[in-house]
A and B are shown apart, each in its own frame.
Chain A
Amino acid sequence: MRALRQAGVILLIALGLAGVTAAVHPKRPSFLAPPRDPNEVSLAQTKQWPGTVLWVDARSESDFASEHVPDAICLNFDNWTDQFPKFLDHYSPGQRVVVYCSATSCQLSREIAEKLRTSGVEDAYFLEGGWEAWKQQKRP
């Protein structure tokens, strides 16, 4: 009984401290789901689009070399100057471009899609779930 009371006190202290942290910590996570980025698309959405999608792989060149979406172009912040002209070789104005990186946690695809839009590629999106989602879809 006494041990139980002690455990309860410890739990209450821990909960109190956690509550204070959740209330005042400047980097506390939001408990509300963030709104979906309008430039994020799912694989299912891309399949419904008319025309050919131009896929951009924002991962490292070594990851790209080992496996990538068919006909994708490797374009990221490290090879931008060399690879952007190559991207233009494949891109046609009005074409939809979808950028992917490794997984949902990866922010690169979002950033590269944004850089493409500021460069003049109007329809540049990033893939929800990234390369992992693509691989998942390919599994039986």
Chain B
Amino acid sequence: MRLSLLLSLFLAIPAFAQLKWETMEQSLKAKPGDREVVATYRFTNTGTTPIIIDNVHTSCGCTTAALAKNEYAPGESGQIVARMDIGARTGHQEKSILVSTKENPRTPTVLRLVADIPVPVVMNPTFVMWGVGETPKPKTIDIKVTDGFPMKVLKVDIDNPGIKVEVSEVHPGVELEVKLTPKDTSRPEMATLLIRTDYPSDNPQTYYAYAKVK
């Protein structure tokens, strides 16, 4: 009875237990201007037989995971490098990387990539609109640097002189009120507002807002 019980429990341990991971979760913080977040997951084959990692896939099309080779001898170490494209993502992001072995394809190991992507500038709203023929009353976009960021808004430019821009600084460099007024609403217009900052110093970021007559 005792022997068969122990045998049953032993057989229930998956072959995957051969892979020992240094960490299965990486938490990273991105900087403004970063294009991607990169996490490395190191492992060692602690088993007595070679192990073949035959499938690595991610929970999001924005994340790739690369493995140098598939087969690892007993005692051999390797790593999976996961890269998450930031794009327009902001805030708390959680992505999974699923790693399957040939011996145990149905129960993948789940690695987690947790990224904190800051929102250094908040624009409220991101766009303003007027209808064609509408009275050209001014509309406002509020721009605020998030607390704790050593960032200053240096300049606000517009790429279309058909829309007048008036910038007033509530708190110089960190809180601005941008008043936009179309000179003419008789025809469609589109303008992009370029909010130029000084941060990070090695790659100062520009943020965009829009004004449209349609």
Q: Which residue numbers of A lie inside 8 Å of B, CB to CB?
A: 2, 5-6, 9-10, 13, 60, 76-81, 84-85, 88-89, 92-93, 115, 118-120
CA distance A129 to B127 in the complex (A): 30
Task: Check B88–A120 contact: CB distance below 8 A.
Answer: no
Q: Is B85 an interface residue (CB 8 A)?
A: yes
Task: Check B125–A120 contact: CB distance below 8 A.
Answer: yes
Write the nearest CB–CB distance from A124 to chain B, whole angstroms.
12
* CB < 8 Å neighbour of A119 from B4, B85, B125: B125
Write the nearest CB–CB distance from A78 to chain B, whole angstroms.
4
Task: Check B88–A6 contact: CB distance below 8 A.
Answer: no
CB neighbours (8 Å) of A9 from chain B are: 5
Task: Check B5–A77 contact: CB distance below 8 A.
Answer: no
**Knowing A77-B89, A88-B127 touch, does A6 contact B61 (C-beta < 8 A)?**
no
| 10 other A-B residue contacts (CB within 8 Å) besides A77-B62, A119-B125 | A6-B1, A10-B8, A13-B9, A60-B61, A80-B87, A84-B126, A85-B190, A85-B192, A88-B127, A119-B126
CB neighbours (8 Å) of B214 from chain A are: 88-89, 92
Task: Check B61–A85 contact: CB distance below 8 A.
Answer: no
CB neighbours (8 Å) of A5 from chain B are: 1
CB neighbours (8 Å) of A80 from chain B are: 87-88
Write the nearest CB–CB distance from B12 to chain A, whole angstroms.
9
Q: Which residue of chain A has its CB nearest to the CB of B126?
A: A119
Write the nearest CB–CB distance from A48 to chain B, whole angstroms.
26
Write the nearest CB–CB distance from A76 to chain B, whole angstroms.
8
Task: Check A81–B208 contact: CB distance below 8 A.
Answer: yes
CA distance A118 to B90 in the complex (A): 12
Chain A proximity mask over B115-156: 1 for CB below 8 Å, otherwise 0: 000000000111111010000000000000000000000000
CA distance A115 to B62 in the complex (A): 17
CB neighbours (8 Å) of A115 from chain B are: 88, 90
CA distance A136 to B11 in the complex (A): 43
Q: Which residue of chain B has its CB nearest to the CB of A115?
A: B88
CA distance A88 to B90 in the complex (A): 21
Considering residues B4, B9, B124, which has the most beta carbons from chain A within 10 angstroms of its beta carbon? B4
Chain B, range 66-90, C-beta contacts under 8 Å to A: 85, 87-90
CA distance A88 to B208 in the complex (A): 13
Q: Is B31 an interface residue (CB 8 A)?
A: no
